[in-house]
Structure 1
């Protein structure tokens, strides 16, 4: 496909297909044009937390400053109106009683004008205007005088700043106008606003810096966890992360990660032990096969080839059993659950399995009806492994029994052999474990039978353990019954 030359900006414009027609080229994303969301996600957690906290704090401080200024302004206006109203009420009372004198004596700076029915100013305070009312007749007519204050510009009356004016009615059509200067209050509000405008950013910067430091100290244990994780190598024998002293979420995270590392370490050790034990078990039959073949090939004239073939076949069968056991364990380790989940009648399975053995050796004591969910083939392998192990070490007979409780099916396999010491009854479930006692006569076994039993039973949600049968040994398997 031939492509058109790049445009003047250096980007490819189109591509020409095999049919000669232009095909739109995919536009390259120019570096540095990532959206704000992408830019935000690329920032550190410390930066994002600090920026978010600072933004929320800035909004909170701005809202608080706005509420403070509004509440303070309303409170000061209400206080000014209350003082003007009180002085106006006093003058109204004096006018109604006929005890009003000119000029009106007021000591707190309130400006008062009294107008008669013909809109003439009859009484004023010292320094008041006798010619022009503070509130015109039109303004008084547009809003009935009820004692509510209003703003009036004091400039035309020679008073600096705004005024808060209250208008009240008196007898004989007279009107009382009381005014108080609002300049000092306005200056106080302006000073408060300037203080908040300057102080709020400073406070925000200080709180942002404090948040940066506090968040940094809070995230320090996480950074230590990161460094600890970076220092862990695959060859380290002891892989653990530093646990902070504080009993917080980071402490719980470090503890959980250390528990995970411990499980991984145990799993790795188990796998290494499995590989080592498998190699050791494979060495013996392979060496035996090699030795028999080398001897047979070195002295062919006097060799019993049938006997050699039988020996090689026996070692090959041993290798086959070992490989099959390892594959079974690998499958159980990978799944941790049955391959199939279907109703399994343990009564039929126990009866069919017992029928494969000599009735004089394996005796089925009882087989109550019990249905579980799982894989019939895996459960059959459990019974076969337990019975093979019991028959191999029994003195005279092996007992097999199936009982059903309220929630479990209990299978017991009992032999009258030498038994196993109590200290070793848990250890024999480990892989490639064979005891040195008389019970270790394994006849070619690799010590995987009981390990397969335990892993299979656990995958079915059950448990298995060994107990003393006096004499002999009893293996007890518990499996949960299927729900009706």
Structure 2
């Protein structure tokens, strides 16, 4: 433990100390309540006896000696001069039980009582004395009833000793019960810990043991297993990403090295201008690949729905201006632009939206036979749509979701320089998602008439539809148009 108690020990100590404090308070309260009840009962009996004597005195029928119940009770009737006129068996017939000032004090407090030493009356232990007044003021007499408290004190002491003897036994028994109960409650936690040690100690995915029942430990185990599943899935994705990235980076690096080695061997016979051109093309491809990998790495670090570092400044963007600025880089044909009928404003990062459209156009131009059409329109429920259509071979329905995965190529036989690294559509999906939009792929042939294409497509064609929420506030008409990267 090294300076710190185990959780089971701490919980047991805290529980036992709390229960011990409660039992101690209860024992003290019980003893005090018992003492109070016995004293009040004894005083009530004494007053009952005093009232009975007063009634006998009122009718002039005081017996001598006066009868009392038990040897622990003494009764005297004392006149105003302190003379004893009647007494019970065992009571002094010459000296009153109380001094004159004591009698005056009790006479002024009819409901009070006085505790005196039993030695004054020849009785055991402390004695409780009450006073009852009888007669008229001219001939006033006092009935004194003394009740020994020895038995009551002995009973209270017996209860106190019993509580003191039972207290440690009860605390010890409770400690054993709590120790075993806490151990049973923490046993699933220990199994979780041992399972976690086994999982972290190996490379294989695993699960923590889930205890029976629907308590907090069960829910904790289920939650931890879900977390482990997510971590394992992330680890698999990370390994695949690293492997694919290393494979993609190897190709341009190999090309660079091959070009340099061949040029070095040829020496002066090498066409250095051509070599420089090839090296520049490979370095540009390598730079684009690194940029794409960095963007996807930032996307992996962000939470879902959090724009974070993946996007820049957010502002109003008009889709018609976006299309015009991006398509200006592409030859016409094959790219054909159909301007939207009205300004279509959305909220987004202009640079990120340029990259979305550029990646879609690159993919469309790469596979189109003769034409790529780009346009935008207003969709349903306050959505704006960006459309890119080509007349290429299209994508089978079963593969239309898979193309958004990283490093996915449906045509594995094509050249890498022509086909790219397989990251373009993955980046498009990430950026569209960060703009709260959606992207769908479909066959373009059924939609030819809707888009105004007046001749049959050379192939089945592909329709890329990107939907963005419509902007709430239109942009300043004097603002600068969207700039490309």
Normalising to structure 2: TM-score of the pair?
A: 0.81
Instruction: Please say if 1:228 is aligned against 2:195.
Output: yes
Choose from 119, 123, 139 the match for 2:82: 119
Deviation per CA, 1:100-147: give whole Å up to 9, x if none.
Answer: 221112335532211122221111222222122222221121242413
The Cα shift of 1:295 comes to 5.5
The Cα shift of 1:189 comes to 0.6
2:62 paired residue number:
100
2:9 paired residue number:
47
The Cα shift of 1:432 comes to 0.3
**CA–CA separation in structure 1 for the residues paired with 2:21 and 2:119:** 38
**CA–CA separation in structure 1 for the residues paired with 2:240 and 2:221:** 28
- Asked if the contact 1:463–1:477 (Cα under 8 Å) also holds between the matched residues in 2, the reply is yes
Instruction: Please say if 1:478 is aligned against 2:468.
Output: yes
1:69 paired residue number:
31
2:128 paired residue number:
164
- Asked if the contact 2:20–2:171 (Cα under 8 Å) also holds between the matched residues in 1, the reply is yes
**RMSD across aligned positions (CA):** 3.3
The Cα shift of 1:187 comes to 0.9
**CA–CA separation in structure 1 for the residues paired with 2:390 and 2:415:** 15
1:422 paired residue number:
397
Listed as ranges, the matches of 1:286-297 within 5 Å are 286-291=253-258
- Asked if the contact 1:398–1:413 (Cα under 8 Å) also holds between the matched residues in 2, the reply is yes
The Cα shift of 1:437 comes to 9.1
2:457 paired residue number:
none
**CA–CA separation in structure 2 for the residues paired with 1:123 and 1:114:** 5
1:260 paired residue number:
227
**CA–CA separation in structure 2 for the residues paired with 1:323 and 1:234:** 34
Choose from 175, 182, 191 the match for 2:142: 175
The Cα shift of 1:190 comes to 0.5
1:370 paired residue number:
345
For the structure 1 residues 113 and 238, does the alpha-carbon distance in structure 2 shift closer, same or farther, using more than 3 Å as the test?
same
- Asked if the contact 1:467–1:473 (Cα under 8 Å) also holds between the matched residues in 2, the reply is yes
Where does structure 2 lack aligned partners over 5 or more consecutive residues?
446-461, 475-485
Choose from 373, 382, 400 the match for 2:375: 400
Instruction: Please say if 1:443 is aligned against 2:409.
Output: no
Where does structure 1 lack aligned partners over 5 or more consecutive residues?
1-38
**CA–CA separation in structure 2 for the residues paired with 1:97 and 1:68:** 44
Deviation per CA, 1:230-255: give whole Å up to 9, x if none.
Answer: 22246522132222223222223222
**CA–CA separation in structure 2 for the residues paired with 1:53 and 1:380:** 65
If asked which structure has higher relative contact order (CA below 8 Å, sep 6+), I would say 2
The Cα shift of 1:213 comes to 2.0
1:388 paired residue number:
362
For the structure 1 residues 317 and 174, does the alpha-carbon distance in structure 2 shift closer, same or farther, using more than 3 Å as the test?
same
Listed as ranges, the matches of 1:76-95 within 5 Å are 76-95=38-57
**CA–CA separation in structure 2 for the residues paired with 1:461 and 1:76:** 83
The Cα shift of 1:465 comes to 3.1
**CA–CA separation in structure 1 for the residues paired with 2:99 and 2:415:** 120
- Asked if the contact 1:463–1:478 (Cα under 8 Å) also holds between the matched residues in 2, the reply is yes
- Asked if the contact 1:343–1:482 (Cα under 8 Å) also holds between the matched residues in 2, the reply is no
**CA–CA separation in structure 2 for the residues paired with 1:400 and 1:81:** 105
The Cα shift of 1:194 comes to 0.8
**CA–CA separation in structure 1 for the residues paired with 2:404 and 2:124:** 100
Instruction: Please say if 1:349 is aligned against 2:349.
Output: no
- Asked if the contact 2:387–2:463 (Cα under 8 Å) also holds between the matched residues in 1, the reply is no
For the structure 1 residues 407 and 312, does the alpha-carbon distance in structure 2 shift closer, same or farther, using more than 3 Å as the test?
same
**CA–CA separation in structure 2 for the residues paired with 1:468 and 1:97:** 120
**CA–CA separation in structure 2 for the residues paired with 1:100 and 1:439:** 133
Choose from 74, 93, 97 the match for 1:134: 97
**CA–CA separation in structure 1 for the residues paired with 2:68 and 2:242:** 107
1:281 paired residue number:
248
- Asked if the contact 1:462–1:480 (Cα under 8 Å) also holds between the matched residues in 2, the reply is no
The Cα shift of 1:173 comes to 0.3
Normalising to structure 1: TM-score of the pair?
A: 0.81
2:169 paired residue number:
202
The Cα shift of 1:192 comes to 0.8
For the structure 1 residues 323 and 105, does the alpha-carbon distance in structure 2 shift closer, same or farther, using more than 3 Å as the test?
same
- Asked if the contact 2:344–2:384 (Cα under 8 Å) also holds between the matched residues in 1, the reply is no
**Secondary structure in structure 2 of the residue aligned to 1:224:** helix
**CA–CA separation in structure 1 for the residues paired with 2:413 and 2:366:** 11
For the structure 1 residues 426 and 442, does the alpha-carbon distance in structure 2 shift closer, same or farther, using more than 3 Å as the test?
farther
**Secondary structure in structure 2 of the residue aligned to 1:227:** helix
Out of 163-172 and 211-220, give the one that drifted further.
211-220
Instruction: Please say if 1:453 is aligned against 2:431.
Output: no
